[in-house]
Amino acid sequence: MIRYGWIFIFLLSFLNLRAQDVLLDNIQSASLDNKGNLYVGDQKGNLYQYLPTGERSDLLYAPPRPSGLTLIDASNPLRIFAYYQDLQEYVILDRFLTESARYSLTDFTTFSGLCAPSQNNQIWLVDLQSFALKKIDPLRNIEQISVPLEQVLDPDSYEITHLQEYQNLVFMSDKYRGVYIFDNLGNLMIQIPVRNVSHFSFSGDDILMATSSKELIRYNLYEGTEQKITLTYPVLMYFESAKQYFINSGEIRIR
């Protein structure tokens, strides 16, 4: 069972860090692959790749129709996932950021808030029409799992900010109530009660939560221990591998 652990508070001062700054307007989404490459999407739907050195590569994906890039999942760098909420579509890109497939969600919902890849080419999606967390198989056009979200969220007061599968678990963050962890059948396992989570990522057995209150929270999924890191700089997304990536809407700081 995951145990809620004791808290360490650290102060980070960006003034004392030798950070490499990358300026990019209107950053909307990002993801880090297992090789340390960072993928960043903007409000026009363009997807850029940054190398572990911090330099931007020559690879670029520009969608046929400009639309905000809502969610990127590069956990499989050979099959990069990009979701466009306004279009209710997601695309699969190869390692050269060439589009290999495009899927519409209109057969499953009139409006999906978020969707994210699962194993075996299946998809988790937040269906705002029926207010449910669903797992679908787009290749066979079937719905496999549907979990009513009224069990965990208030339909009149919620803001789902991120969705991701990791270690055969499903993670969903709500701005007002924290991060929910479901098993691979959609059964709720635990809620991490952290408010204002704008995004989360993973490092080993830790979930790394960026909040709008200038805090980074590292929570160990199996020990339940928690660390709070207070920042002097607003961060919407945070990733780490060999380096740390602090991202807001117009800048990437790498150190």
Q: What do you get for the CA distance between the two ends of the chain, in Å?
A: 34
Q: How far apart are CA 180 and CA 174, in angstroms?
A: 8
| Range 7-254 has CATH code 2.120.10.30 | yes
SS3 94: coil
Average pLDDT, the chain: 90
Inform me whether the pLDDT recorded for 1 exceeds 50.
no
Beta-carbon neighbour count of residue 75 at 10 Å?
Answer: 19
pTM of the model: 0.90
168, two tokens: 């055969």
Residue 246's CB: how many other CB atoms inside 10 A?
25
Residue spans of the domains in the chain: they are 7-254
Neighbours of 195 (CB within 10 A): 12
Q: Is the pLDDT of residue 12 over 60?
A: no
Task: Give tens-digit pLDDT for 231-253.
Answer: 988 899 999 998 999 999 889 99
* pLDDT given for residue 14 in this prediction: 37
Q: Are 214 and 235 spatial neighbours (Cβ–Cβ below 8 Å)?
A: yes
pLDDT of 63 > 90? The answer is yes
Among the ranges given (7-16, 73-82, 158-167, 173-182), the one the predictor scored with the smallest mean pLDDT: 7-16
* Contact between residue 158 and residue 178 where contact means Cβ atoms under 8 Å apart: no
pLDDT given for residue 20 in this prediction: 66
CA angle 5, 204, 168 (to 5 degrees): 95
Record the tokens describing residue 169, joined without a space.
């678990």
pLDDT number for residue 25: 76
* pLDDT for residue 182 is more than 60: yes
Distance of alpha carbon 78 from the chain centroid:
18
Task: Reply yes or no on whether the pLDDT at 72 is more than 90.
Answer: yes
